[in-house]
């Protein structure tokens, strides 16, 4: 959609926002000597959770993977489910900031920094999981294609290896992407900074950005190219995660639909988290003027589309299993929907497909409370979906004599809580150190509005 067809009720930037007021408003959040109370409270809680992660990891590395509930047949447990979950959340951020930059959607501008901060925080959690879940985490570097004394190389046929490489590139790329987008704002903050320490700090980070026309031209080019790379990359990352499963013979995994299926999941869960955080930031920092119903409306619409695509995948999955010729697939599917783990299946249907249909109502799309609740529901629902994909398939495998169930242990849950802690901690740090709304881009909008 273009600026032309904006409903006046919800301007993308409220009137009264001027170029200077905007810059001061946003950078003030970073520059003010004392963070607000809510920030400290949130940050405190995050640190507490982070501590849980530290303990959980220590316990895991000292005693071994056995402290989790994993077993044979269910050799992958929460760790992998959460890996997929986190990477999906991260991708969601990229989709908002990269994909919709390419589509030139104006509402992206105020939310992309939030999305990117979230992307980095979530990617950190995602990156942690595969290493933690290894039987011998100390040897994870054997996945690097290097060979000094052993004379052996990684196995390039393995989806896990593709996944490892993709994740590596994705995280590195995301960091650069975030930083490049941040440059002009760093310069703004530097210029508005009062104390010498801050001036130096942001000065160095700004890499001598002076906003000259040449700077801007290069920046725009680079940023556009990065978006052009990030957009397909995020799709590929998630497709490859999907291939981790599709590449397996396990009933319930061995399906060609996994790559798109996983991407749809990424869209919806990522957007849900963006919406949650946007609402919080908006409240917390009082950005009602620059983050408006317009944004929520747009984000909600995209989320609704995601939900529908996901619903389609669910149908496809059911159809393939029931109509397909494989006894194992069919019985695994029935186990999913009626068996030991059935509640998680039906819960995910409700949270990811049914409830989000409320988004057809404009009122819901614009109400922060409604959106917030739906988003929380979706994030939980997507966690359940990952669980349903990973565990029941393994527990109800091809050989009945080896059917078995998996119960997460205290340490499984501690790991989940811990990674959430890591995510929040990082996000709160971003919140405090860097402009959480892209000053430069919103200025552009204000400029455009003025010129209309």
Partner 1 sequence: MNAPGRSYWRSLEELAETPEFAALVEREVPRFRDVLAGVDRRRFLQLMAASMALGGLGSGLSACGPEPNPRQLLPYVEQPLGIIPGRSRYYATATTLDGYATGVLVASQMGRPVKIEGNPDHPASLGAASAIMQATILGLYDPRRAQSIVGHGQIDSWDGFVTALFERRDRLMAHHGEGLRLLTGTVTSPSLTAQIAALNKDFPGMQWHQWEPLHRDEERAAAKEAFGRPLDSVYDIGSADVIFAVESDLISAVPGWLAYARHFAARRRPAETGGRMSRVYAIESTPTLIGAKADHRLALRPAELAAAMRYLAAALGAGPQQWSQAQVKDADWLKAAAQDLKQHHGRALVHAGREQPAEIHLLAHAINGALGSFGATIRLIEPVAASPGSQQQSLHQLAADMMAGKVDTLLMLETNPLYTAPADVDFAAALKKVPLSADLALYADETTLASTWHIPAAHEYEAWSDARAFDGTITIQQPQLRRLYGGHSAQELLAVLLGNTMPVDYALLRAFWQSAAKQQGHADFEQFWHESVRIGVVANSAAAPVTATPTADLAAHLPAAAAEAKGLDLIFRPDEAAWDGRFADNPWLLEMPRAFTRLTWDNAALIAPSTAKRLGLATEDVVAIAAGDRQLRAPIFVLPGQAPDCVTLPLGFGRRAGGLGVGVGFDAYALRVVASPWLVAAKSLTKTGDTLRLATVQQHDRIAGRDLVHEGTLADFVKNPHFLKHEGNNESIYPAYKYPGNAWAMAVDLNSCIGCQACVVACQAENNVPVVGKDQVLAGREMHWLRIDRYYSGAADEPSVAFEPVPCMHCENAPCEVVCPVHATVHDHEGLNLMVYNRCVGTRFCSNNCPYKVRRFNFFAYAIEDDRPAESWNPEVTVRGRGVMEKCTYCIQRIRTTQIDALRENRPIRDGEIVTACQQSCPTQAIIFGDRNDPKSAVARRKASPLDYVLLEELNTRPRTSYSALIRNRNPLIKDDEA
Partner 2 sequence: MAIFGPRANMLMNAALIAAAAGSVFLVMLIWLVPVMGYNSQERYIPPQPVPFSHKHHVSGLGLDCRYCHTTVEISQSAGMPATEICMTCHSQIWTNAAILAPVRQSLADDTPLRWTRVYTLPDYVYFDHSIHVAKGVGCTECHGPIGDMPLTRKATTLYMSWCLACHRDPAPHLRPLSEVFNPHWHRTPATPSGEQLMAAYHIHTRTLSDCGVCHR
Q: Find the binding residues for partner 1 in span 225-254 (CB under 8 A).
A: 244, 247-250
Contact 182, 433 (CB under 8 A): no
Verify binding: residue 152, partner 2, rule CB under 8 A: yes
Measured CA to CA, the distance from residue 266 to residue 262 in angstroms comes to 6
Closest distance between partner 2 and the C-beta of residue 92, in Å? 30
Q: Based on CB atoms, which residue is closest to partner 1, 270 or 408? A: 408
Verify binding: residue 92, partner 2, rule CB under 8 A: no
Select the residue interacting with partner 2 from 2, 103, 148, 451 (CB under 8 A): 148
Closest distance between partner 1 and the C-beta of residue 148, in Å? 15
Contact 167, 90 (CB under 8 A): no
Give the x/- contact pattern for partner 2 in 251-290, rule: CB under 8 A. Answer: ----------------------------------------
Give the x/- contact pattern for partner 1 in 61-90, rule: CB under 8 A. Answer: xxxxxx--xxxxxxxx--------------
Select the residue interacting with partner 2 from 72, 149, 363, 399 (CB under 8 A): 149
Measured CA to CA, the distance from residue 111 to residue 449 in angstroms comes to 18
Contact 23, 437 (CB under 8 A): no
Stretch that binds partner 2, among 39-47, 196-204, 227-235, 298-306 (CB under 8 A): 196-204
Burial of 276 (0-12, 13-18, 19+ CB in 10 A): buried
Verify binding: residue 151, partner 2, rule CB under 8 A: yes
SS (H, E, C) 321-339: HHHCCCHHHHHHHHHHHHC
Q: Measure CA of the first residue to CA of the last residue in the chain; give whole Å.
A: 17
DSSP assigned state of 417: H
Verify binding: residue 200, partner 2, rule CB under 8 A: yes
DSSP assigned state of 356: G
Q: Based on CB atoms, which residue is closest to partner 1, 62 or 149? A: 62
For the chain, what's the residue count?
Answer: 452
Q: Based on CB atoms, which residue is closest to partner 1, 335 or 345? A: 335
Measured CA to CA, the distance from residue 99 to residue 314 in angstroms comes to 24
Select the residue interacting with partner 2 from 44, 208, 286, 362 (CB under 8 A): 208
Verify binding: residue 204, partner 2, rule CB under 8 A: yes
| Residue 429: Cβ within 10 Å count | 14
User: Could you tell me which residues come within 8 angstroms of residue 284 by beta carbon, excluding any fewer than 6 positions away?
Assistant: 36, 38, 39
Which entry of partner 2, partner 1, none binds 72, CB below 5 to 8 A by partner kind?
A: partner 1
Which entry of partner 2, partner 1, none binds 196, CB below 5 to 8 A by partner kind?
A: partner 2
Measured CA to CA, the distance from residue 179 to residue 116 in angstroms comes to 10
Give the x/- contact pattern for partner 2 in 370-399, rule: CB under 8 A. Answer: ------------------------------
Verify binding: residue 164, partner 1, rule CB under 8 A: yes
Closest alpha carbon to 103 in 11, 231, 221, 233: 231
Whole-angstrom CA distances from 371 to 33, 146, 303, 406, 427 are 33, 48, 10, 34, 21
Q: What tokens were used for 259? A: 């790559």
- Residues in the interface with partner 1 (CB under 8 A) total 53
Stretch that binds partner 2, among 75-83, 195-203, 414-422, 429-437 (CB under 8 A): 195-203
Peptide bond between residue 73 and the one before it cis (omega within 30 degrees of 0): yes
Verify binding: residue 417, partner 1, rule CB under 8 A: no
Helices (H) and strands (E) in the chain, counts: 16, 0
Q: Based on CB atoms, which residue is closest to partner 2, 151 or 400? A: 151
Verify binding: residue 324, partner 1, rule CB under 8 A: no
Verify binding: residue 59, partner 1, rule CB under 8 A: no
Q: What is the contact surface with partner 1 in residues (CB under 8 A)?
A: 61-66, 69-76, 133-140, 142-143, 152-155, 157-161, 164, 244, 247-250, 326-328, 331, 394, 397-404, 406
Q: What is the contact surface with partner 2 in residues (CB under 8 A)?
A: 146-152, 196, 199-200, 203-204, 207-208
């Amino acid at each position: 959609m273009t600026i032309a067809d904006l409903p006046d009720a919800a301007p993308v930037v409220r009137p009264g926002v001027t170029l200077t007021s905007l810059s001061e408003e946003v950078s003030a959040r970073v520059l003010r000597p004392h963070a607000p109370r809510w920030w400290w409270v949130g940050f405190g809680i995050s640190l507490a959770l982070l501590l849980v992660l530290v303990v959980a990891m220590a316990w895991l590395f000292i005693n071994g993977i056995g402290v989790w509930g994993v077993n044979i047949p269910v050799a992958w447990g929460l760790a992998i489910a959460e890996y997929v979950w986190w990477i999906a959340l991260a991708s969601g951020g990229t989709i908002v900031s990269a994909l919709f930059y390419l589509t030139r959607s104006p509402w992206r501008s105020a939310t992309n920094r939030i999305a990117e901060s979230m992307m980095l925080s979530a990617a950190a959690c995602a990156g942690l999981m595969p290493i933690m879940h290894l039987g011998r985490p100390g040897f994870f570097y054997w996945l690097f294609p290097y060979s000094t004394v052993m004379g052996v190389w990684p196995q390039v046929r393995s989806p896990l290896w593709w996944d490892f490489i993709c994740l590596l590139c994705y995280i590195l790329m995301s960091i650069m992407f975030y930083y490049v987008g941040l440059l002009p704002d760093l310069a703004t903050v530097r210029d508005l900074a009062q104390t010498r320490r801050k001036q130096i700090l942001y000065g160095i980070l700004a890499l001598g950005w002076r906003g000259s026309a040449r700077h801007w031209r290069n920046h725009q080019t680079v940023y556009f190219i990065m978006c052009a790379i990030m957009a397909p990359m995020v799709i590929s990352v998630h497709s490859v995660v999907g291939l981790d499963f599709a590449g397996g013979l396990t009933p319930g995994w061995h399906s060609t639909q996994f790559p798109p299926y996983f991407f749809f999941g990424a869209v919806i869960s990522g957007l849900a988290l963006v919406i949650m955080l946007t609402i919080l930031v908006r409240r917390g920092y009082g950005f009602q003027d620059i983050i408006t119903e317009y944004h929520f409306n747009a984000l909600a619409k995209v989320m609704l589309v995601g939900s529908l695509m996901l619903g389609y995948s669910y149908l496809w999955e059911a159809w393939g299993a029931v109509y397909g010729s494989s006894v194992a697939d069919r019985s695994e599917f029935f186990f999913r929907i009626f068996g030991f783990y059935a509640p998680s299946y039906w819960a995910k249907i409700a949270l990811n497909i049914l409830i989000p249909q409320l988004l057809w109502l404009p009122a819901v799309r614009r109400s922060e409370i409604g959106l917030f609740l739906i988003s929380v529901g979706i994030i939980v629902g997507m966690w359940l979906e990952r669980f349903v994909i990973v565990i029941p398939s393994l527990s109800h495998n091809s050989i009945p004599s080896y059917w078995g169930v998996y119960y997460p242990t205290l340490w499984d849950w501690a790991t989940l809580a811990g990674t959430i802690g890591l995510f929040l901690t990082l996000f709160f740090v971003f919140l405090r150190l860097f402009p959480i709304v892209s000053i430069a881009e919103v200025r552009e909008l204000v400029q455009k509005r003025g010129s209309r």
